[in-house]
Chains A and B, each alone.
Chain A
Amino acid sequence: MIRLGSAATIGLMALSRIAQLVAVILVIATFNFVLVQAAPGDPAQVMAGQSGASDPKLLEDLRREYGLDKPYAVQLASYLGRVVRLDLGYSYRQRRPVVDLILERLPATLLLTVTAFCLALLIGTTLGALAGLAAGSVLDTVFTVLSLVLYATPVFWLGLMLVLVFSVTLGWLPPFGYETINVKLAPLEHALDIAKHMIMPVTSLAAIYLAIYARLMRSSIIEVAQQDFIKTARAKGLSGPSIVVGHMLRNALVPVVTVAGMQAGALVGGAVVIETVFAWPGLGRLTFDALLQRDYPVLLGIFLILSIVVIVLNLLTDLIYRLIDPRMTTGAA
């Protein structure tokens, strides 16, 4: 009964999330459309970018293609229609469809963000739980100070400092890139090579979130420890470790996971800067290049796709949330 009930709620939730995803895509696409209209200069010039704006034939083609002589409503409808068909426009700078450029870079960004997200959640909650259980100890103080400092550190600067220490000074890790170029490696060695290149970008991206989750988990554990059901468990004679694992962790994780979902957008934003620091061949790097060339269609497309990534990450944390929240699994049926 209980399982069925929770499976049904998860199904319903997934459906409403998909509806939300479609709504968000439409809203963001509309926003992009409005932004192009609001930008200084005529939309054709904006879309053509600095290089294309001097080419009258290109501008004429663009005006015809986007129907810029038609009413706004018609333009918007045709724009939304194209977005739904995954046509995100054309990069006149790179002479390729925007969607191809983005899909080519998306896996590298996902690898970076998802790894950082999972590690931050895993290590952050573990450290936070340890600090919370040992509240007031030296360990707790060290964690608190460290998380305060990390919370104030710009991600990109942290990345550079890691490069300074571990590449420039110690020579342990490759300073940038995704893999060692011009070398033929066996599959396993290749994976290890990528992993080695990932250490610093992932660390700098995960650090701040690790600090946030650790602080939250710490206060959450302290709060849960004072609840009546923990006293009951103690009174029943349950041992320390089984109370921590069986009763405290699940309850304490709930607020952390909620915040983790809310931070997904910031994490993806951080990835954009970190990729610039480490020349990581993902969407962040593409953003930086597009910015240098004012390649507007690419920037609009990246904003749309990264928003979708964030919503998917949110969906993921929602699922975790449903799995760990005791009220969701026992109370829902």
Chain B
Amino acid sequence: MDATRAFLRHPSGMVGLVVLLVVVVIALIAPIVFPVSPWEMVSAPFTPPGEDGLLLGGDTLGRDVAAGVAYGARVSLVIGIASAMAAMVIGVTIGAISGYFGGKVDLVLMRMTELFQTIPAFVLAILLVATFNPSLLTIILTIGAVSWPPLARLTRAEFLRLRNREFVEAALCQGEGTLRIVLGHILPNAISPILVVTSLTVATAILLESALSFMGLGDPNLMSWGFMIGAGRTVIRNAWWMSVFPGLAILITVLAINLFGEGLSDVLNPRVSRRRS
């Protein structure tokens, strides 16, 4: 395929993809490399990196920081991808209805989208997770619920652009139903920019999840990067490694996703990309 070949020639996009694949592999093999749960104490508290067989050191309770970082990759990727999907479903639905039907429906939905875009999303996320208690599911749904507006606006714009095209009119003439036209004709033509923005949403979702768990709103049963940084915060004077490594993990993962997403954007929507860069 042309797009695949073009992506293979995109240097920063490829760097992003390769790094991302490494993170995925680490997440997948975490239970094999670290058979002991990241919550288990394996050494003396405050073990510095490199000592006692702990590559990245031990935390305040003597838990392996490296194991935490590896298991944290699972949490970040799962939450990042699942909540970006949730945001995509909400955003595309609202954007498609708004763009296809127009008029009053569009007006009301876009006012709602603007409102969601204005209010401080992170504070809303805190409120939602605190209300329904932190768990994997509530965190994913919450991040999805505060991340959909850019996707709705994009989908709406694409639908506005496409809905009067000949192929839509042809489908209308053939008596095809609304749902079929929307899902079968318009959406496939709008899908590439939607995928690009969804991939970038994974990155912001990971950042949002890490901030939530840093504030103590992570799933209490899952070891996550944000939680580790939050736990290491108070002892940073004596033990830098507890907060430095999980933070680097977030930085590298998010950077990789952004590079990958922008590469994807350059390949799939050259017109839009050239205007942006």
Residue pair B130, A299 in contact (C-beta under 8 Å) = yes
Q: Contact between B123 and A157 (Cβ–Cβ < 8 Å)?
A: no
Q: Give a binary string over B127-157; 1 marks a CB under 8 Å from any A CB, 0 the rest.
A: 1101111000000000000000000000000
- Measured CA separation A35–B118 after assembly (Å): 19
The verdict on A273 contacting B216 (CB below 8 Å), with A266-B120, A303-B127 known, is: no
Indicate whether A168 reaches chain B with its CB closer than 8 angstroms: yes
Contact with B along A19-50 (1 / 0, CB 8 A): 00000100110000001001110000000000
Inter-chain residue pair count (beta carbon < 8 A): 134
Contacts of A27 in B (CB 8 A): 115
- Are A265 and B131 in touch, CB under 8 angstroms? no
**CB of A24, distance to nearest CB on chain B (Å):** 6
Given A163-B236, A265-B119, residue A157 in contact with residue B247 (CB < 8 A):
yes
Please state if A24 and B118 are interface contacts (CB–CB under 8 Å): yes
A268 proximity list for chain B (CB < 8 A):
120, 123
Chain A contacts for B119, CB-based, 8 A: 24, 28, 265, 303, 307, 310
Report the separation of the CA atoms of residues A101 and B9 in the bound assembly, to the nearest whole angstrom: 57
Q: Is the CB of B132 within 8 A of A39?
A: yes
Interface size on B, residues (CB 8 A): 43
Please determine whether B236 and A269 come into contact, CB atoms closer than 8 angstroms.
no
User: Which residues of B are found within 8 Å of A276, using beta-carbon distances?
Assistant: 214-215
Q: Are A168's CB and B237's CB within 8 A? A: yes
| Residue among B236, B250, B252 making CB contact with A164, cutoff 8 Å | B236
Chain A residue at minimum C-beta to C-beta distance from B237: A168
Q: Which of A156, A161, A164, A310 has the most CB of B within 10 A?
A: A156
Interface of A is mostly: helix
Stretch at the interface among B49-57, B78-86, B254-262: B254-262
Stretch from A123-131, A146-154, A180-188 contacting the other chain? A146-154
A160 on the interface (CB 8 Å rule)? yes
Q: What are the interface flags for A271-311 relative to B under an 8 Å C-beta threshold, 1 for contact and 0 otherwise?
A: 01100110000000001100110101001101100110011
A174 within 8 A of B: no
Which residues on A sit within 8 Å (CB–CB) of B216?
A: 288, 291-292
How distant is B143 from chain A, measured CB to nearest CB, in Å? 13
Confirm or deny: B72 has a beta carbon within 8 angstroms of a beta carbon on chain A.
no
Interface residues of chain B: helix, strand, loop or mixed (majority): helix
Question: Is A262 an interface position by the 8 A CB rule?
Answer: yes
Q: How far is the CB of B79 from chain A (nearest CB, A)?
A: 14
The answer to whether A303 touches B207, judged by C-beta atoms less than 8 angstroms apart, is no
Interface size on A, residues (CB 8 A): 49
Contact of B236 among A38, A168, A291 (CB under 8 A): A168
The interface residues of chain A lying within 8 Å CB-to-CB of B127 are 35, 299-300, 303
Nearest A-chain residue to B208, judged by Cβ = A269
| Beta-carbon contact of B126 and A291 below 8 Å | yes
Q: Are B126 and A155 in contact (CB under 8 A)?
A: no
Tell whether B165 is near chain A: CB-to-CB under 8 Å.
no
A contacts, CB < 8 Å to B: 24, 27-28, 35, 38-40, 148-149, 151-157, 160-161, 163-164, 168, 219, 223, 262, 264-266, 268-270, 272-273, 276-277, 287-288, 291-292, 294, 296, 299-300, 302-303, 306-307, 310-311, 314
**Top 6 A-B pairs, shortest CB-CB distance:** A269-B122, A157-B247, A152-B255, A152-B254, A265-B120, A268-B120
Q: A149-B251, A157-B210 are in contact. List 16 more A-B contacts (CB 8 A).
A: A24-B119, A35-B127, A148-B258, A152-B252, A153-B250, A154-B214, A154-B229, A160-B243, A219-B277, A270-B122, A273-B215, A276-B215, A277-B233, A287-B123, A288-B215, A307-B118
